[in-house]
Amino acid sequence: MDEIIPNGLDVYSKLVVRAAKIAGPATVNIDITGGRQRGPNPWMPEPGASASGVIINSKGFIITNGHVAQGARTIKVTLSDGRSYPAKVVGIDPNNDVALLRIGATELPVAMLGTSATLQVGQLVVAIGNPFGFQWTVTSGVVSAVHRKIRVSKDITLENLIQTDASINPGNSGGPLVNSEGRVVGINTAMLLGAQNIGFAIAIDPVKQGLADYLELEKPSLGIVGHAQIIDENVTKWLGLNQKSGVLVLGVAEDSPAERAGLHVWDIIIEAGGARVEDLDELVAVQDYLEQGHTVSFTVVRDIEIIKLAMQPVKT
């Protein structure tokens, strides 16, 4: 017979309640308008206007799914105490389906990030989020498997996923999957449509590694996180480009030269200072030039247009 806790809860219930009380206050509701969300497929439902996220530091940074934030026109974050704030997209990593948002608030409840490396099959986990708009819903289950891989689109395969039978539904996307200590071990991202209790979360360890790059945006720099990107052949033909790659912008820091110049997430930089840009290394010289007090011209591909921008010198 299970041990009975003095307050009337059995051991399992006590662990779930404790985890929910620790991580719940740092879980947020996210409402979006617009967006270029991933279309229907066997793994992920067509996203609605509501999702979830988790606060990771007191400066207002919030993790959610990339498919939640991608292309959103507006994003509103509601905290567990009822306060609401507009959010800005700091960066998106589509290959891991993770996005980093920021709100203008302080003294926030912050989630503790755990590790996914030591997760065991059968281990208790708790999912917290806003399925179908039912805010701050808690479901519990176990780690059903680790290192799962699913293909969610023609170009993107999510790897190293945690499979869980804790119920995950539309609206849970971006919310935390926590262990019995209330530490975040994954970010809920997908479910198998038509199945019973087959859900997936992004393992937190690679997310933490990626966050280190995004949070570097707080330091003086161009204010860009990105990577080399092949430009779609149809776009190059339409625009008459004679280059096949550029730098895809995945993150833009607040009040950075990049933001002040008007760079957007998903822009592809093809030229800077009159020189062709095909990878990140070719932006290093631009950083030095800005720090010397010069203005640098940028050419980017935005959707199917060529946009000209001017980046002002780095503030000191």
110-121 residue pLDDT tens: 888 888 999 999
Q: How many CB atoms lie within 10 A of CB 8?
A: 8
Q: How confident is the model at residue 165 (pLDDT cuts 50, 70, 90)?
A: very high
Q: How far apart are CA 268 and CA 250, in angstroms?
A: 9
Phi (first) and psi of residue 41, to 5 degrees: -160, 175
- Please give the pLDDT value at position 87: 93
Q: Which residues contact 97 (CB under 8 A, 6 or more apart)?
A: 65, 66, 67, 152, 156, 158, 189, 202
- Please give the pLDDT value at position 48: 52
User: Rg of the chain's alpha carbons, rounded to an integer?
Assistant: 21
At 34-58, the pLDDT tens digits run: 655 444 444 454 445 788 999 988 7
Run of H or E including 85: strand 84-93
Q: How confident is the model at residue 271 (pLDDT cuts 50, 70, 90)?
A: confident
Residue 17 has pLDDT above 60, yes or no: yes
- Please give the pLDDT value at position 40: 41
What's this model's pTM, rounded to 2 decimal places? 0.67
Which residues have a catalytic role annotated? 67, 97, 173
User: Which range scores top for mean pLDDT: 35-44, 94-103, 214-223?
Assistant: 94-103
What are the structural domains of the chain? 1-216 (2.40.10.120), 219-311 (2.30.42.10)
Phi (first) and psi of residue 262, to 5 degrees: 95, 15
Q: 96 versus 44: which is more confidently predicted?
A: 96
Q: How far apart are CA 276 and CA 11, in angstroms?
A: 62
Q: Where are the beta strands (DSSP E) in 152-254?
A: 157-164, 176-178, 184-191, 199-203, 224-230, 245-252
In the predicted model, what is the mean pLDDT of residues 296-307? 88
- Please give the pLDDT value at position 315: 56
Structure tokens at 286: 């631009």
- Please give the pLDDT value at position 212: 66
